[in-house]
Structures are given as C-alpha cells and as structure tokens.
Amino acid sequence: MEELKKEIATKSRTMEIMERFDLHTKKVFGQNFLTEPGIVRKIADECILNENSCAIEIGPGIGALTEQLAKRAGKVMAFEIDERLKEVLPYSLVDYDNVEVRFEDFLNVDVKSVVDDIQKEYSDVMVAANLPYYITTPLLFKIFESEADINRIVVMMQKEVADRFAATPNSKDYNALSIITQYLYDVRIVLKVSRNVFEPKPNVDSSVVEFKKKKDIIPVDNQQAFFNLVKACFDQRRKTMLNNYGKYLNDKEKAKSQLAKAGIEESRRAESLTLQDFIKLYEVYANERNS
C-alpha cells in the first residue's frame, strides 16, 4: 500500500500504473509521461490556483499533473482523447473527488460554452497541459480564437515551439505565430525541462510557457483580417516587406504607398517589425479598404 501513496509522477508509481493496466505509450497521441514529481509540482504552482479556480487540463495521461492541480484547485476538468485511460484515471486519481474527466478530443469542444458553464461555480478558469508537438499550435489557437474568458494558460511544449511563441524581433524564431500570440497574451517561458525526465524519453527538450491575457489589447476592427495580414507578411521569410505585402495586396504600388504611410521601409523584412509596426500597417490597410 505504501507504493500507492507515492505521487503519480514518481518513476516507480508511473511504472506500477502502466504495468497494472498493460499500458504502452502511443506515438499517435504523442504520449511521454513526466516522471519527475518536483517539476510537476512546479508546473502546478505556476498555475496559481485556489478553491475558486477550475483548471481545464488537456491530455491528463495517467494523471501526474492532474493530481497536483487537484491538490490546489477547486475543480479540475480534464479532456482526454485516449479511451484506454477510461480504466486508468479512476484508479490513479481515486483520492481526488474534484476531478472530472471527459473523453473527448479537445479540438472538437466548444471552449466558450464549457468555460461559461464552469464560471457559474468558479470565478477563475485557466488551462494547463503537457502538449505533444504536433497538436500544440492548433490547440492553443483553438483557445485563443474561442473568445472564452480564460486569463491564464500554462503549457509544457517542445522547446523549439516555446521559443517561437516567446520570440522577439530580429531573432531566428520570430514569426507570424509570435506576433499573433503576443497581440493577445503576455508570453513568458517559466521553466525548461530536460528530455531525461520523461518516459519514454523524447528526442527534444521541453519548456513550460505561461500565457497571460493582456488587459490592454490595442483593438483592431477585424482581428482575423489583422492575423491574415501578419501571416502574409511572413509568407516568404527572406523576401522584403514590399514583396510579401505587394503579393498580399496583389498590387506592388499600393503596397509601397501603404508601407510609407505606416512608416515602414519597403526593404525591411517582416522579422524586423514589432507588433506595433504591424498594427500601424493594418490600420492603414483597413482605412484604405473601408474608404
């Protein structure tokens, strides 16, 4: 019985659970179980939870992070795609009656509706996850675009993807994803995690990233149109703003004129522009489109 009292994230408890249910990680779900309890506790601490909080967890796996969230939050609502875990999670999380597990693909969930529902009982709703590489960006953009009242997201992801989210102008990782994310959220890398603390060991290191919703977002008349413009400017990274923006407008002369009005030299590349530069350019674009 002593073994069962160990935290799920200990290597011995993880192995015990996997052996009991003859569980093998599936590549298709990008599964790598974290087996370092100190790191799992740190991630849960970064979530800043209390009894008025509900943590939405995406992909609980066998429950290592879920357990730590449940110790700190009023409620944990976990979404899991792997139906093999229907037997496992009631066993591993037997001591926590504040956890609800839904076996659904989070990409198909109406996030705003779920959050609105939770807020009838819990004033603070946040998202926590350990996300596999292939699904990180689609899942985060699902949340970003949902207009749900989620003020904090704390996610562990592949280090290279984390670097893109947090990148600054003139760095190799800075791209459209950086701009769009930083328009909506303050982004901070809070923890670096070695590949050696996972079972099985992945090929890359990870980082834990905090996204905190900005209170002072500069409004644009059409958020999606703004995001489309930003993506177009990064279309061919080595090309100048005049080339990429001219292609987007299908009119190089108009692009030249709009760049000048926004105070952006046409020979610059998108990677050298700040978020404010892109907002200025979009405002010029929107004014001319609407006139």
**pTM across the whole model:** 0.88
pLDDT at 197: 86
Write down which residue in 184, 213, 242 finishes a domain. 213
pLDDT at 132: 81
C-alpha angle 118/185/258, rounded to 5°? 130
- Mean pLDDT for 68-75 is 98
Where does residue 166 rank: exposed (0-12), middle (13-18), buried (19+ CB within 10 A)?
buried
Q: Identify the CATH number of the domain in which residue 41 sits.
A: 3.40.50.150
Q: Identify the CATH number of the domain in which residue 252 sits.
A: 1.10.8.100
Torsional class of 263: left (φ above 0), alpha (ψ -120 to 50), beta (otherwise)? left
Residues 147 and 269 in one domain: no
Contact 53, 124 (CB under 8 A): yes
Residues 284 and 169 in one domain: no
pLDDT at 35: 86
- Give the residue among 130, 128, 103 at the shortest CA–CA distance from 32: 130
Which residue segment(s) compose the domain that 232 sits in? 223-290
Residues 201 and 79 in one domain: yes
Residues 168 and 262 in one domain: no
1: confidence class by pLDDT, cuts 50, 70, 90: very low
Contact 62, 92 (CB under 8 A): yes
Residues 75 and 191 in one domain: yes
What number of residues does the chain have? 291
Residue 110 pLDDT > 50, yes or no?
yes
Residue-wise pLDDT tens digits, 273-291: 999 999 999 999 999 998 8
Torsional class of 61: left (φ above 0), alpha (ψ -120 to 50), beta (otherwise)? left
Residues 159 and 231 in one domain: no
Within a domain: residue 218?
no
Residues 6+ apart with CB under 8 A from 163: 173, 189, 207
Count of structural domains, the chain: 2
